[in-house]
Structure 1
């Protein structure tokens, strides 16, 4: 049987798919930039005009709404598929530390898009960023460059009834399935006397993982799923709890059906097939 015509027909289809993936990538980044700059322009005067309590409330609800719009747009153009429904069970909960693993840059956006009463510990360079900084300051997000101040602010947010988004790894995952966990999560939980809700972010692509260039196009659609893990009571011994938390993440994520190790084939280049 002559399969040449089939191969010839499939080649244009593959090129069409790749072109569409590049279109989805560029349009998604452009939308995020436009949303961020527009909100930053509005957030700057509001930061100076509004009392802190109102600024935090408005800023956090605005960020939740804007991230929902952005993730919805990625889903609409076929770039990503999101299953974030399990987070909705936490929406009306009291103060909690939300502790996810951190495979990619979209992690905070996914969690915040479902939980509007969320304080967030952020890298200082993000808070100073022209695209995201003004919105982060209006929402009362916490810089991570002064450890004692960061812990005091985080404890105060939890005692005021907020959720706190804190990645135990401290940065995006580079050691599969999680990096060494930091003791900050345990210290804050112990001082605030609030539980730690673990969250697992699973994906079938290394897109925007540590070291992934911003304009490097992945195979699409990318699937993201969030599921809730165990809820830990406030620890008495921070070091022992941090080791327990790390082992728990490792055990749970090694068996995750869609979790992709950073050295999987697609991490070496674009266009590789997704694992099944």
Structure 2
């Protein structure tokens, strides 16, 4: 379930010890290393492709490869026995035409990878520093992901992508959820929806694992198996273009909906 307290918590599984714990930690690190190897391999290839491919083709190729690469990684994660993942609810979005903002809660660092794996047309807004990251940078630049360092350029680029039919992945909190409590939402999502004239589809990410959440060291073994479930929440229509108060009303409705879903 979600990080919010459950009304009927399951009994805690016994902590693995000795050889079993060593094997689980080793297998977890194999998965982490495998993700790093996949990312680095694509980065090296993307560095070569970026200068020579036409921008439009490079963008489509970059987004498709990232999507299928993450999807392959989650298949490996499930096959390892350490993870149980159900993100099939997002498949209905992949085939829908036109632009769409996908707004999700943000329990851990794996959230974007879980969503992008199911949405090959998706574009992410990412920290500008990550576009210089050795594991992510070249692939993100080839896919024309949007940097967050200049706000007015961010909004303009996001609107252009949505009007061209992309699916924009956003985390309205702007940071990972902490302690199961929804963080204050940032209003840019409503402004982008208003200007691009596209709906906002809420995605609820539920997990019982603290792995990659705030304050959890990556080397620490979490309770296993780790469960992740993604389900569709409410869809909000874009705010009326001629109503200056509509974006704030959308943000309030989005906040109320997320708080209700996370408390379930």
Change (3 A) 1:188 1:175: farther
For 1:33 and 1:75, locate their aligned partners in 2 and report how far apart those are by CA, in whole Å: 17
Matched, 1:80 2:112: no
* Structure 1 stretch displaced more, 105-114 or 125-134: 125-134
2:252 counterpart residue number: 243
Matched residue SS, 2:252: helix
Asked if structure 2 preserves the Cα contact closer than 8 Å seen for 1:21 and 1:219, the reply is no
1:55 counterpart residue number: 58
Asked if structure 2 preserves the Cα contact closer than 8 Å seen for 1:155 and 1:188, the reply is yes
Q: TM-score, normalised by structure 1?
A: 0.86
1:185 counterpart residue number: 189
Describe the superposition over 1:76-99 as per-residue Cα deviations: whole angstroms up to 9, x where unpaired. 111111000000010111210000
Change (3 A) 1:44 1:12: closer
1:267 counterpart residue number: none
**Gaps spanning 5+ residues in structure 2: where?**
1-13, 241-245
Asked if structure 1 preserves the Cα contact closer than 8 Å seen for 2:15 and 2:223, the reply is no
Quick one: which of 121, 126, 150 aligns to 1:122?
126
Matched residue SS, 1:90: helix
* Structure 1 stretch displaced more, 110-119 or 12-21: 12-21
1:172 counterpart residue number: 176
For 2:26 and 2:144, locate their aligned partners in 1 and report how far apart those are by CA, in whole Å: 34
* Structure exhibiting the larger radius of gyration computed from Cα positions: 1
Change (3 A) 1:155 1:14: same
Matched residue SS, 1:81: strand
Matched residue SS, 1:230: strand
Quick one: which of 68, 73, 94 aligns to 1:70?
73
For 1:19 and 1:109, locate their aligned partners in 2 and report how far apart those are by CA, in whole Å: 27
Matched residue SS, 1:102: coil
Quick one: which of 136, 146, 152 aligns to 2:150?
146
Give 1:18 deviation, angstroms: 1.4
For 1:151 and 1:13, locate their aligned partners in 2 and report how far apart those are by CA, in whole Å: 47
Change (3 A) 1:65 1:12: closer
Quick one: which of 22, 29, 33 aligns to 1:30?
33
Change (3 A) 1:39 1:12: closer
Matched residue SS, 1:50: coil
For 2:238 and 2:27, locate their aligned partners in 1 and report how far apart those are by CA, in whole Å: 43
For 1:75 and 1:92, locate their aligned partners in 2 and report how far apart those are by CA, in whole Å: 24
Write out the 4+ residue segments of structure 1 that deviate beyond 3 Å after TM superposition. 11-14
Q: TM-score, normalised by structure 2?
A: 0.89
Q: Which has the higher contact order (CA 8 A, sep 6+)?
A: 2
1:158 counterpart residue number: 162
Matched residue SS, 1:99: strand
1:272 counterpart residue number: none
RMSD in angstroms over aligned alpha carbons?
1.5
1:7 counterpart residue number: none
For 1:100 and 1:13, locate their aligned partners in 2 and report how far apart those are by CA, in whole Å: 32
Give 1:178 deviation, angstroms: 1.6
1:89 counterpart residue number: 92
Change (3 A) 1:116 1:13: closer
For 1:116 and 1:221, locate their aligned partners in 2 and report how far apart those are by CA, in whole Å: 27
Size of the aligned set, in residue pairs, is 245
